[in-house]
């Protein structure tokens, strides 16, 4: 094809486009003129009604409808109620702790007498170099008169605690009590009219919801980070106690050393958890943060304020088997489910309360017991001094036995 043919083809295409464009513009002008003419002819009231009922263009963004616009209000509420905590152990307390640790090691084995801990606690000439602990963390104000919840690992070792409020005031705090099994503690400052955070119902929180973490990482006060709830009910064996209660909320809000004891807050500025731990290979944030849910915090705080230190190192002192069809048939039992007591430890609360080998435990504190899992759940929040009511079957007859729990060794 020669150049003149190419030029003509291009010319006719451009001409056709211009013609179509002119036709569209003309149709638009005619239509607009007709509408304008009709609108001018309407009465004032009719004009208002026409404008109110006219269809309007609307941008639809489904994501923006489900996500918050910002975290400003929630952050303002939370930062006022989150405090910085400095905790320190005195030399006397550090010395007593070191001596107790040495005593425990010697009881376990005389081979541990010259362990590394002994050398770090002193020298071969009997001169002791005790190293008092200290650290920083966060806390959440629960009441206008100064009750504050934090983590046990933030203040549990200390006999000097200082709180820095959001307005910069520094106040000495006293320990109210701690619960190592949940890693929670309550401290108290002498103050009034403090800003507080309301508890949310953490059971209603859903995976995928937005949340913010408020605390003092690396001593950077009033720091806010955002993320979502990644999972609920995590039991990860993070609390290194003989007995631990873990129901962590997992989030991807950035949490670092110093955030411990701080607030995990929903978009309404309500407390849904106490930030407690991170999963990390480096010691700093690596994407996984864990908070104690608000409903558990509320329950434990109430117990601590009422009773002080909580000791959950308790046990019944029994051994036995879960009853199934085979076990029922072999032992000729008249019950389908429960725990068959095979042995009772000497000196245990079970022995002193009258539990005997051959008893079948079927109920504890009005909760049906089908197996050891049910018994563990029934005793989940038990503490030294509590009384448990056991229903047992003995020789085919029902019997109620009250057991007062005490600290187990």
| Residues acting as catalytic residues | 153, 183, 260
Alpha-carbon distance of 326 to 345, in angstroms, equals 26
CB-based burial label for 203 (10 Å; 0-12, 13-18, 19+)? exposed
Q: CA 384, 387, 388, 390 torsion: positive or negative?
A: positive
Distance of CA 42 to the CA centre of its chain: 64
Distance of CA 322 to the CA centre of its chain: 33
Residue 375 sits at φ, ψ, to 5 deg, of -65, -40
> Are β-strands 223-234 and 248-251 bridged in parallel, bridged antiparallel, or unpaired?
antiparallel
CB proximity list for 123: less than 8 A, separation 6 or greater: 129
Q: CA 302, 305, 306, 311 torsion: positive or negative?
A: positive
Q: In which residue are the tokens 């003989």 written?
A: 242
The answer to whether the CB of 279 falls within 8 A of the CB of 286 is yes
Q: Partners of 170 in the beta sheet?
A: 164
Structure tokens at 392: 């047992």
């Amino acid at each position: 094809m020669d150049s003149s043919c190419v030029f003509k083809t291009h010319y006719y295409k451009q001409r056709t486009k211009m013609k179509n464009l002119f036709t569209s513009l003309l149709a638009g002008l005619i239509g607009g003129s007709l509408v304008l003419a009709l609108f001018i002819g309407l009465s004032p009231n009719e004009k208002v009604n026409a404008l109110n009922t006219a269809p309007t263009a609307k941008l639809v963004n489904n994501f923006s409808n489900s996500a918050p616009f910002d975290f400003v209000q929630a952050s303002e509420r939370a930062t006022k109620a989150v405090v910085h905590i400095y905790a320190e152990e005195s030399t006397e307390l550090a010395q007593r702790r070191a001596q107790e640790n040495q005593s425990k090691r010697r009881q376990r084995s005389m081979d541990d007498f010259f362990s590394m801990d002994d050398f770090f606690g002193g020298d071969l000439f009997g001169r002791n170099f005790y190293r008092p602990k200290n650290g920083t963390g966060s806390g959440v104000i629960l009441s206008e008169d100064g009750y504050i919840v934090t983590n046990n690992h933030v203040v549990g070792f200390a006999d000097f605690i200082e709180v820095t409020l959001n307005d910069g005031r520094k106040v000495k705090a006293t320990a109210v009590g701690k619960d190592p099994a949940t890693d929670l503690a309550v401290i108290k400052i002498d103050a009034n009219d403090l800003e507080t955070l309301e508890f949310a119902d953490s059971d209603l929180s859903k995976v995928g919801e937005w949340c913010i973490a408020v605390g003092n990482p690396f001593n950077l006060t009033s720091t806010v980070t955002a993320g979502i709830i990644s999972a609920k009910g995590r039991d990860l064996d993070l609390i290194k106690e003989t007995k631990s209660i873990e129901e962590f909320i997992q989030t991807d809000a950035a949490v670092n050393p110093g955030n411990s004891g701080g607030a995990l807050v929903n978009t309404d500025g309500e407390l849904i958890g106490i930030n407690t731990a991170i999963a990390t290979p480096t010691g700093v944030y690596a994407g996984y943060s864990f908070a104690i849910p608000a409903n558990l915090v509320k329950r434990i705080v109430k117990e601590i304020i009422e009773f002080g230190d909580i000791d959950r190192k308790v046990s019944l002192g029994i051994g036995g088997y879960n009853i199934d069809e085979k076990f029922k048939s072999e032992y000729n039992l008249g019950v389908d489910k429960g725990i068959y007591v095979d042995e009772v430890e000497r000196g245990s609360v079970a022995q002193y309360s009258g539990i005997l080998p051959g008893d079948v435990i079927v109920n504890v504190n009005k909760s049906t017991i089908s197996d050891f899992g049910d018994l563990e759940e029934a005793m989940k929040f038990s503490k030294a001094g509590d009384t448990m009511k056991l229903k047992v079957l003995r020789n085919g007859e029902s019997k109620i036995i009250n057991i007062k729990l005490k600290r187990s060794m």
